[in-house]
Amino acid sequence: GENVEQHPSTLSVQEGDSAVIKCTYSDSASNYFPWYKQELGKRPQLIIDIRSNVGEKKDQRIAVTLNKTAKHFSLHITETQPEDSAVYFCAAMGFSGGYNKLIFGAGTRLAVHP
Amino acid sequence: DTGVSQNPRHKITKRGQNVTFRCDPISEHNRLYWYRQTLGQGPEFLTYFQNEAQLEKSRLLSDRFSAERPKGSFSTLEIQRTEQGDSAMYLCASSLGRATTEAFFGQGTRLTVV
């Protein structure tokens, strides 16, 4: 089945710096890759997603890139702010067993220091 | 609140007892997922439904776990003979029928088995 690995597990940056989180997936049939942000004690919320027919997508300070050949995708946050501090999860829509389901990475705890 | 609703928010139970959680998805969503999240980890897939049909159940899930979605609307997750290792946050998510659409999460039910 689909397996998603996420790195790094923790990331500490200074306010204004960029942050990059990387994920790899195993199922070459996966075609949907969302990123979720989870603040302490809250539910995961979608911040950006990308489909397999696109190589890059940007929304203000966040962007996601997808390399289907290498089976990896990355989240880029520019001009980080303290409110970006949270746990970020990548996910891939895998197709193992004939059905598609979202499989998540283990998460990256991002800390943005003023 | 028209989002995904989960009840109860917190549940403390003694080892060996049965517990049942409820998830009410967004009304027009026909996909419903159950995930388990432990501290420092990403959401772990448990099972999912397309309308009332349970399409897949994780092989990691023991026979003590069962889920239903009898009318294709709300869903219940039951854990029989709870064990301390079942302590976790149980998250429900829903999405529209197409695979590559956003999954919206509920706030979760935190289970503590003592």
Q: How confident is the model at residue A97 (pLDDT cuts 50, 70, 90)?
A: low
Place of tokens 């159940």: B57
Q: How much is the pLDDT for B61? A: 80
Where is average pLDDT lowest: A6-10, B70-74, B77-81, B91-95? B70-74
Percent of chain B exceeding pLDDT 90 equals: 75
> Whole-number mean pLDDT of chain B?
92
Select from B44, B102, B105 the Cβ nearest to the Cβ of A43: B105
CA distance B49 to chain A (A): 10
* Tens of pLDDT, residues B27-45: 989 899 999 999 888 999 9
Contacts of residue A81, defined as CB under 8 A and 6 or more positions apart, other chains included, come to A15, A112
Evaluate whether B8 touches B89 at the Cβ level (below 8 Å). Answer: no
The span from the CA of A82 to the CA of B49, in Å, is 38
Judged by CB atoms closer than 8 Å, whether chains meet at A103 and B45 is answered as yes
Q: How much is the pLDDT for A54? A: 82
Q: How much is the pLDDT for A83? A: 96
Q: Which of A40, A101, A108 to mutate to test the interface with B (most CBs of B within 10 A)?
A: A101
Q: How confident is the model at residue B99 (pLDDT cuts 50, 70, 90)?
A: low
Q: A41 pLDDT exceeds 70? A: yes
Whether B102 has its CB under 8 Å from any CB of chain A: the answer is yes
